[in-house]
């Protein structure tokens, strides 16, 4: 009986009573399914350089932290050829390569240290984001991140040519 009922529900032949919210019954995306632009627009969107080993290590950790909360944070690799700035508040590849960019749930773009604060808050590390933004700590964070952002390409084996167009990691 149960498989038969599931089959009827799957075909959509059953009308739900008005007090049942049918939207709550929609299926969740499986791991093998891809998110569409409409599903990606919800939540926090983190734009990161997928060719930067330091960046990728941090993103993997953040993905691990939010593994049980799908849809809260979307990690967007700007290094992929399919990256489209128009989908992400017109943040171009070149601009995103300058410093970290995060788009929050309200569609506001955050850059630099504030971007990290939004990102950390979205994965459950709000205390770390608040600490980074705390007025006694913030100047140190801004200066430290500015040094990292300026030298990131050199430190990860890539040169200035990566700031425009697309680049690949150099193999020496």
Query: What CATH number did the domain enclosing 47 receive?
Result: 3.40.30
Is residue 68, in this structure, part of any structural domain at all? yes
Is residue 158, in this structure, part of any structural domain at all? yes
Provide the greatest CA pair distance for the chain. Answer: 66
**Which whole number is the average pLDDT over 52-76?**
91
- Report the predicted TM-score, pTM, of the whole model to 2 decimal places: 0.70
Q: Which two tokens stand for residue 32?
A: 């093998």
Helix (H) or strand (E) holding 101: strand 101-103
The tens digit of pLDDT for each residue in 57-67 reads 999 999 999 88
Is residue 140, in this structure, part of any structural domain at all? yes
Q: Give me the pLDDT at residue 67, please.
A: 87
DSSP result, 84-100 = -GGGTTT--HHHHHHS-
Torsions phi, psi of 152, nearest 5?
-55, -45
Q: Above 60 in pLDDT, residue 39?
A: no
**By residue range, what is the domain housing residue 107?**
30-163
Share of the chain above pLDDT 70, in %: 67
Q: Give me the pLDDT at residue 42, please.
A: 58
Sign of the torsion angle spanned by Cα atoms 19, 20, 22, 26? positive
Is residue 15, in this structure, part of any structural domain at all? no
Q: Above 60 in pLDDT, residue 172?
A: no
Is residue 3, in this structure, part of any structural domain at all? no
Total domains in the fold of the chain: 1
- C-alpha angle 95/63/34, rounded to 5°? 80
Is residue 70, in this structure, part of any structural domain at all? yes
């Amino acid at each position: 009986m149960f498989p038969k009922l599931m089959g009827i529900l799957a075909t959509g032949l059953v009308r739900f009573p008005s007090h049942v919210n049918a939207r709550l019954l929609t299926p969740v995306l499986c791991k093998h399914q891809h998110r569409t632009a409409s599903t990606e627009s919800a939540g926090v969107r983190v734009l990161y350089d997928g060719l930067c080993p330091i960046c990728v290590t941090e993103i993997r950790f953040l993905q691990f932290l939010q593994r049980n909360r799908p849809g809260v944070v979307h990690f967007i690799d700007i290094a992929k050829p399919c990256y489209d700035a128009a989908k992400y508040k017109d943040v171009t590849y070149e601009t995103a390569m300058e410093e970290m960019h995060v788009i929050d749930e309200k569609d506001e773009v955050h850059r630099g240290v504030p971007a990290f604060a939004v990102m950390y808050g979205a994965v459950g590390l709000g205390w770390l984001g608040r600490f980074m933004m705390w007025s006694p700590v913030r100047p140190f964070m801004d200066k430290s991140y500015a040094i990292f952002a300026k030298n990131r390409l050199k430190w990860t084996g890539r040169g200035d040519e990566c700031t425009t167009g697309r680049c690949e990691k150099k193999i020496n």
